[in-house]
Amino acid sequence: MTETEQGTAPRRKGSQTRADIQQAALTLFTERGYDATSMREIAEQIGITKAALYYHFDSKEAIVLSLFQENMRALDDLLDWAAGQPLTPELSAEFLGRWIAQGAREGLRTMRFVAANHAALRTVMPLRQGGPLDRVDRAARLLLGPDAPLAERLRIRMALLSVHNAVMASRGTEATDDDILAIAMHAATLLVGDLFPAPRFPVSE
């Protein structure tokens, strides 16, 4: 008799189980709080055993760390791509659009978790070099060059943080993900102003 005939759910691939765990954990951490969520509840959320959960992650801290590491790798790939291109206004506009799109694709749910769990996050991931702000700094230097005036550097840094700021501002409102991304793109466009063309989402996204 097959598993389906026995009423048992089909086996997940390991990579899919890992992704399901991450997304379930993010949802629970955001809705209930990091400290109030147990590993058992994460396992129950996606219908696996605690043993299966611990096969992929040995703690809640490991789940959070894996999410941030994946987001940082995606930003590093984008930064490396930009570093290999000649600096032009068009490149800057395309890069900023891709950066915001990256926030839409990979980072938005993580940012919601951060906004809801500041205190817990400081314990799980103490501030250190190599974090998001270091990527923002590198991106600003790539977009403007090393000798840009302070006012321009601050405007670009604010534009790069537009998704994060929109998530923070949306707390306690009925804003959807689409609302957040639309206002983030609008804010970034206003901030870059006359520095280079308005950012836009990549056509291929």
Q: Is the pLDDT at 104 greater than 80, yes or no?
A: no
The tens digit of pLDDT for each residue in 77-90 reads 999 999 999 989 99
Given a contact cutoff of 8 angstroms between Cβ atoms, the answer to whether 199 and 189 are in contact is yes
Beta strand ranges found along the chain (DSSP E): none
Q: Is the pLDDT at 119 greater than 70, yes or no?
A: yes
Q: DSSP for 94-117? A: HHHHHHHHHIIIIIHHHHHHHHH-
Other beta carbons within 10 Å of 145: 10
Q: What is the pTM of this model?
A: 0.78
Q: Is the pLDDT at 2 greater than 50, yes or no?
A: no
Confidence at residue 71, expressed as pLDDT on a 0 to 100 scale:
85
The pLDDT of 28-51, averaged and rounded, is 94
Q: Is the pLDDT at 28 greater than 90, yes or no?
A: yes
Distance CA 101, CA 71 (A): 12
Other beta carbons within 10 Å of 39: 17
Out of 3.30.70.1520, 1.10.10.60, 3.40.50.2300, 3.40.50.300, which CATH number does the structure's domain 11-58 have?
1.10.10.60
Under the banding of pLDDT at 50, 70 and 90, the label for residue 177 is confident
Q: How far is CA 127 from CA 121, 131, 176, 187, in A?
A: 9, 8, 29, 27
Under the banding of pLDDT at 50, 70 and 90, the label for residue 45 is very high
